[in-house]
A and B are shown apart, each in its own frame.
Chain A
């Protein structure tokens, strides 16, 4: 079946540190891949997406590349800010159109 696995949190970083949050997936066919972000007390918001192999999604300094050979979609940012503190969810959309989410990774950025 389809599934998404993310690295365990919480991840605690100092401001301006480099961020990587790992995400791997299992899917039949060619899913679209997404990163959603959930700020405290709010619903999820789409951060970035990639719809085919080797595509790179980017937004607000975050990037993720769709790697079919390693079935991965790792999220990266070169220099995190305190305002990036949130929970990050990796997700895939299968051929039936449903979104399947990973368990979420909490990021805490300290000044």
Chain B
């Protein structure tokens, strides 16, 4: 049972480039989340989804997009990377009131 899998683990982007952070879970969870973790700032919710075909904005959605075409996958898209998007990104999933399962994170630097 792999749980929540994120790829890549590390990435360096130039300003203005685009990329997609991949997230997949094999637990048949309905709820999926993208967080960013900045040093000393805790986790901030970017986007979330309550099921396939349904997504909604979190606290800090600007500069990001998501899609949820299947229950398993919840990719996060950065269209025009900016230095302010340098962060560690975590994907997470859960089923209703159960605990949140996190992936191991993607460390992104935008230079």
Contacts and interface: CB of A to CB of B under 8 A. Distances in A.
Given A43-B105, A44-B90, A98-B48, A89 B43 contact: yes
A46 B99 contact: yes
Interface residues of A, number: 16
B103 A43 contact: yes
A69 interface: no
Given A43-B4, A46-B100, A101 B43 contact: yes
Interface of A: 4, 36, 41-46, 49, 89, 98-99, 101-104
Nearest to A5: B42
30 contacts: A36-B100, A41-B104, A42-B104, A43-B4, A43-B90, A43-B92, A43-B102, A43-B103, A43-B105, A44-B43, A44-B90, A44-B92, A44-B100, A45-B102, A46-B99, A46-B100, A49-B99, A89-B42, A98-B45, A98-B48, A98-B58, A99-B45, A99-B100, A101-B42, A101-B43, A102-B42, A103-B41, A103-B42, A104-B40, A104-B42
Interface string B24-47: 000000000101000011110100
- Most B Cβ at <10 Å: residue of A43, A49, A98, A99: A43
Contacts of B43: 44, 89, 101
Contacts of A4: 42
B40 A103 contact: yes
